[in-house]
Structures are given as C-alpha cells and as structure tokens.
Structure 1
Amino acid sequence: MKDKEIALPIDAGPHTNSNVEWWYYFAFLQGDRGGRYAVMGSFFEVGETSLFKAHYMIHSLIDLTNNVHRHYSLADSSLKKQMALFYMPLYLLLNPGDTQMWRLQKQLLKGRLPKPHRGIPHARVTSNPVKLSYGKNKLEFLGSSQADYAVNIKEKEFEADLQFSPEKPIALIGGQGKPDDLYYYSFTRNKVNGQIVTDRGAETVYGQGWFDHQWGRDYGLAKGKGWDWFGIQLDDGRELLLNQMTSDKKESGPKMANLIGRDGSLQFSRQVSFSKEKHWKSFETNARYPISWSITIPEFRMELRVEAAFPKQEMIILGPLKGIWEGAVKVTGREIMANGQRKPLAGKGFMELVGYT
C-alpha cells in the first residue's frame, strides 16, 4: 500500500489514527541585552484510539553564556491514566526487572506524578487553525499555509514569546516524508523573533530556528528502541538532519542523512557512519551519554565533528526512558569539493540521545 503524500496545511494538524505524534522546535537566539540562548520544546499527543488522546510536553531554556540548562516535563491526567493502564503494563511485561518503573507504576495508579514532573491542568490540540495548548504553554500555526507559527511558554523561571517563519520550503525527510515507520517533515531554517523574560528582565531576541513534525504508529520505546538524532544548521546556509536507530543492546540500526540545500532541495543517503568520541555520565540517572561524535557521510563528501556546547543537558523524562540528552551542540568539519579542495564547515544545532538510561 502506497504511503500518503504529506501536504500542508492539512498535515500541520493532528492525525487521530496515529498512536504517537509530536511537534518539535528549537532555536538559537541573541538578546538585545547580550544574552545568548537556545530553546527547545516538544508537544506530544499519544493514544491508541482517536477518541482518547493524552498529552505530554518537554521543553528547555539554555543559557549559553553561563552554561545553564533548565528543563521541564509536563503531563496531563489522561497521560497518567494511559500510562498506568496500558503503556506501563506493556513495558513491565517485557522488562519485569525494572524496579524503578514498578515504583512509578504504583504512583501512576494513585494518580500521582513524581518530581520533577508536573501536571497540566488541561491540554488540547485543535485544527483550523492548528493550536496546541498544554496548560499555559502554546504552539499556534499562523496563516493559510500553516507553516509560520508562534510559541508561548510560561514558567516560574522564565517566559518566552517567539514567532517562527520558515526561510525554506517544507523538507520531506527521507525524500518522500516517511523514512521509517513515522511520517516526518521539517522546516530546517526559520527566522525567529520575540521576547524572553528571565530573572534578569525582558530581552528582545532574534535568531534562527528549526521545526519537526512526526506521526504514525510505533511501539519501539516499549521494546527498548532508542536513537541518536542531530539537527544541524551550517553557517553556509545548508542543514543536515542525521539519525541512527539503536536497540536495547545499544546496537546500531537503520541510519539516515538528509542534506537540505540553500534552495531547499533535499539529498538523502543511508550511507552514514557515527563514531562516539567522548562521554559524560549523569549523576541523576547514571546514564553515560556520548557528547562528542565523529560523523562521516561519503555521498555528501562530508566529515563532521559534533560536540556538546556543555555536558550537562540531560532532560528527565516520565516513563521508561527515564532521561534523554537533549541540547545545544557545536559543529565543525570539512567537505571535499569536486576539484579535490577541502572546504571547512562550521555550524550549530541540537542533539538528541535516547536509550542510554
């Protein structure tokens, strides 16, 4: 059966036949008072049926001047119920020796969330226009194409009001928008403007951002699946979206490399190698994350080094994942040109490491 084609504006909204869907963004921002920030957020909608959906959100504010990473995990009451009645029993059936998750299951059955996770009093995903409202945090698509969007975040420690406008056409990841079990499209370079408010006051900010949207049916996390994901914005105006899947035995699975040109054209390759160079151990989860990588993409004639902006960028996740590393990275490397000359590469981006706890 042929996969359906992705098209906006309809695919900006929720897909009720999916059991997992998420809308993801990150941005690097410069403030008018000298602040340097990175922000990231992901709004999740999960559920086996179209009538009963649950909602989860993770997001962060990263102070790149002082190397401070603030992260948040928010869940609605429906997620607590779904986890207690379906997802946790499935996971514990496959992983009966995970005592930490047995303790979590007992709390979920009582309707409780362990710290640092917080409850969302209400969460909604609506269409026409598409708007995600998870408590006081919102992502709303703007305009007829549903490509521009606004992000509004309200936490005790900070607030952010940001507007994202794509500078390139939609990128269908994998070339057709379905590189594996999930549908996947991105806007890999967005102009971002807005305001961030911290304990130091309000700053007008500007910079560049990234947007991903994925959906489908998948049970990989219950089976111990993980991944290493890289969203890279090169200084020369191109972007790279790289990924490798991993198993519970930390064996690498399917890999992919997407190169988005200055004009928005996309090149796709499965020939990419990832090599871990340096690790950092979390004192909170005892996970050992590779925070420095050497990546080679022969078809693109590229060799990259990706390194964390600073090590401590772990996010605590509700459920079997326990924690992930999700944060800002610096990128250097080189590209072999057709005439044999070596062109230096530089950039920045976000790295997501899942399955290390």
Structure 2
Amino acid sequence: MNEKGIKPISLPKDAGPHADANIEWWYFFAFLDGDRGGRYAVMASFFQVGELEIGKGHYIIHTLIDLKRKKRFNFSSIDSKVKLGMLAVYLPFYLLRNPLDTGMWRLYKDLLKGKIPSPHTKMKHARIQQDPAELIYGSHRLSFKGEDQSAFDVLLKEKHSEVELEFVPAKPVALIGGDGKPDDLYYYSATRNMVNGKITTDAGMENVSGQGWFDHQWGRDYSLIKGAGWNWFGLQLSDGRELLLNQMTPGKPMANIIGADGSVEFTRNIHFQKIKYWKSLKTNARYPVEWEIHVPEFDIELQVEADFPNQEMLIIGPIQAIWEGTCKVVGREKLSDGKIRPLTGRGFMELVGYVK
C-alpha cells in the first residue's frame, strides 16, 4: 500500500483478472491502414462482472468501422452467467430504483423466458486463463504475452468478419491519475501501440497496420446499474503524446497527459462544453458529437468532433446504448515561452448515459 492506501499496480500480475472486483474490463481501439487501400478502426471491450469470485459473467462488445465508407458493424454477446446475474441481482436492483422503466421490465421478462433480444447474442462458453492471461469469449480471444504481459494478440471472429491483430506498446504503461486509482477503479493504459495483423470480410482479406490504445480497469463499482453516465476521450496526438479525458456524472472530471516517454501529468481542472448534437432514430438519444475542451493547468484548448455522427452501439442492460466511435481533434497549446503550438490528432470518444 502507498500513503493513500492504494495497492500499487504491477505487471504482469495485474494483466489478468481480479477476484475481488465486481466489474472489470479490458478495452482497446486501433486505427488501421490496409495494403489494398482500406482504412479501418476497430474497438473491443471484454467485460467480467459478478459479486463473487465464483460465477462471474462475461460480456463482449466490439465494432469494425470502415472509415472510407463511414460504415460500422457492431457486435454484442453475453454468456449465461451474465444473464443469470442480470435476473438475480442487477435488473431487480435497477428496477427497485426505476420501477417505471418499461424497457427494462421488458428485458427482464425476455431473459426470464430465455430470450436474448436482438442484436445481442449468447456466447456458448467463456473463460479467463492465467499465466499468461488469456480471455476466451466464445470465438473471440485476447492473449497477453511478453515478460510484463503488456503486449497481446487479439482475435475477433464473427460469421462474416474476422480481425486478427498484434498490439506491441511503443512506450511504458501509464498509471492513470498518476497512481493508477484516480477514482473507484484501478486503471492503467498503454496509450500508444504498434498494431499489425489482418482483417477479413466478405470483400476478402487485407493486411493492416497502424496504431492502437489499450485500457484495463477493475474494482468494485455500481455506476452501470445505477444508470450513471460519463464522457470519455482517448486521444492520440500527432506529436507522440496522448490525452485521456473523462467526465463522470456524477463525479469529478480528470485529464491525463501521457508524454512521449510515458510520463503522466494529471489534473482535475478541466472544462467540457458541448457544441453540436446528433439524435439517434433507434433510441431517441441526443449525443454531443462535437466538444470544446479546456485544460487550463496545461494551457491546452481542444475541439473534438466525431468523424461521422452515427456511431451508436446498443448495450444490453439499463444503459441501453452508448456512442462509441472515432473522432478527430484540433487545438492549441500555449508553451512556457508564450508561443502557441497547434495540436492535431485522432482517437475514440465514448458517451454513456444519454438514453432516457
């Protein structure tokens, strides 16, 4: 324990699952260029949920985005233990707090009947192995490797698409918040990875390469079933730095600047302003898809805008849907000598809690 009572994060030990956590996820995104002219983005999040060490459930969401055509293909799959946990604990808890939510009553009745509503599907099996850590979620895998298990291979295999990628960190792992526990959850990131692999679709196979991002979070938290929301930004700047920004509702905002050497600068002094919205025809949610963000402590001003507006993903449970997709960033930074440096970059934006 350090002076704040926080157990220090250590790899490879913390690459794998944590028995005392009731929620844990491994998340990545990547921007990829193909050898046949394709341009893609890929995102996936492997969740493990459950109050006890025995019987934890598994849930995966992932998406393949064709950036040239501005088309995306979303996937969502749960195992039987997630269904059981939702029936026995999470949905009853939520419905006690929100008894008039007809959509969640409908989901609860469907699950009681053994039905999983479209577009979500059921995984036949899921397990997590240790030493080295490997996540096996149906036909999908994330396998850690290397001395500290910060590199990994991933396979996302669907009926009409297959993504095989290797992630190798280009800088040291960053402890978010400076100590790896900015709020209720432990949190570390590899914010710049060299990514290589191949993507196979109905159009054929294409070798791809590019850059990616990886997050791992775990702990005890009930924000998801309470219907809390957040706005998260993982931005890779063209100068080799990254910005990890988060605004919780409720909660304190945070900004992390990860330097080219992997060092982390952290502040709570950050201002978010929503500029432009997009309304979903599926859920009627209004998502803020353009932002102005100011980090006074670092003299940074940013404009973040979605690459295209329709990047909503349906989620099983009280949140119902999120906006999770690619964005571009421009801005300016005032240097210590008073000069202004322009900033450019790209990343992923995650908007949660907008479905009413």
TM-score (norm. length: structure 2):
0.98
User: What amino acid sits opposite 1:85 in the alignment?
Assistant: A
Q: Give 1:172-251 correspondences, 5 Å limit.
A: 172-247=175-250
User: What amino acid sits opposite 1:226 in the alignment?
Assistant: G
Q: What SS class does the counterpart of residue 101 from structure 1 fall into?
A: helix
User: What amino acid sits opposite 1:324 in the alignment?
Assistant: I
The 1-side partners of 2:114 and 2:134 are apart by 27
Aligned to 2:172: 169
Aligned to 2:294: 296
Aligned to 1:354: 352
Q: What SS class does the counterpart of residue 40 from structure 2 fall into?
A: strand
The 2-side partners of 1:331 and 1:353 are apart by 16
Aligned to 1:144: 147
Aligned to 2:317: 319
Give a deviation string over 1:111-152, Cα, whole Å, max 9, x none: 220000000000011111100010001100012210110010
Aligned to 2:65: 62
Match of 1:75 among 73, 78, 81: 78
Residue 92 of structure 1 deviates from its aligned partner by 0.2
Aligned to 1:269: 267
Residue 221 of structure 1 deviates from its aligned partner by 2.0
Q: What SS class does the counterpart of residue 7 from structure 1 fall into?
A: coil
User: What amino acid sits opposite 1:151 in the alignment?
Assistant: V
Q: What SS class does the counterpart of residue 254 from structure 1 fall into?
A: coil
Q: What SS class does the counterpart of residue 228 from structure 1 fall into?
A: strand
Are 1:126 and 1:132, in contact at CA under 8 Å, matched by a contact in 2?
yes
| Matched length | 352
Q: Structure 2: give runs of 5+ residues left out of the alignment.
A: none
The Cα RMSD (Å) is: 0.8
Aligned to 1:53: 56
TM-score (norm. length: structure 1):
0.98
Are 1:81 and 1:109, in contact at CA under 8 Å, matched by a contact in 2?
no
The 2-side partners of 1:40 and 1:220 are apart by 22
User: What amino acid sits opposite 1:320 in the alignment?
Assistant: P
Identity level (%): 61
The 1-side partners of 2:160 and 2:100 are apart by 37
Residue 223 of structure 1 deviates from its aligned partner by 2.1
The 1-side partners of 2:215 and 2:273 are apart by 25
Q: What SS class does the counterpart of residue 97 from structure 1 fall into?
A: coil
The 2-side partners of 1:231 and 1:137 are apart by 24
Q: What SS class does the counterpart of residue 82 from structure 1 fall into?
A: helix
The 2-side partners of 1:111 and 1:8 are apart by 40
Aligned to 1:15: 18
Give a deviation string over 1:194-228, Cα, whole Å, max 9, x none: 00011211110000000000000001122221100
Q: Structure 1: give runs of 5+ residues left out of the alignment.
A: 248-252
Match of 1:39 among 37, 42, 46: 42
Q: What SS class does the counterpart of residue 90 from structure 1 fall into?
A: helix
Runs of 4+ displaced beyond 3 Å = none
Pairing 1:258–2:253 present? no
The 1-side partners of 2:182 and 2:142 are apart by 25
User: What amino acid sits opposite 2:235 in the alignment?
Assistant: I
Residue 263 of structure 1 deviates from its aligned partner by 0.8
Pairing 1:132–2:118 present? no
Pairing 1:333–2:331 present? yes
Aligned to 1:250: none
The 2-side partners of 1:38 and 1:47 are apart by 30
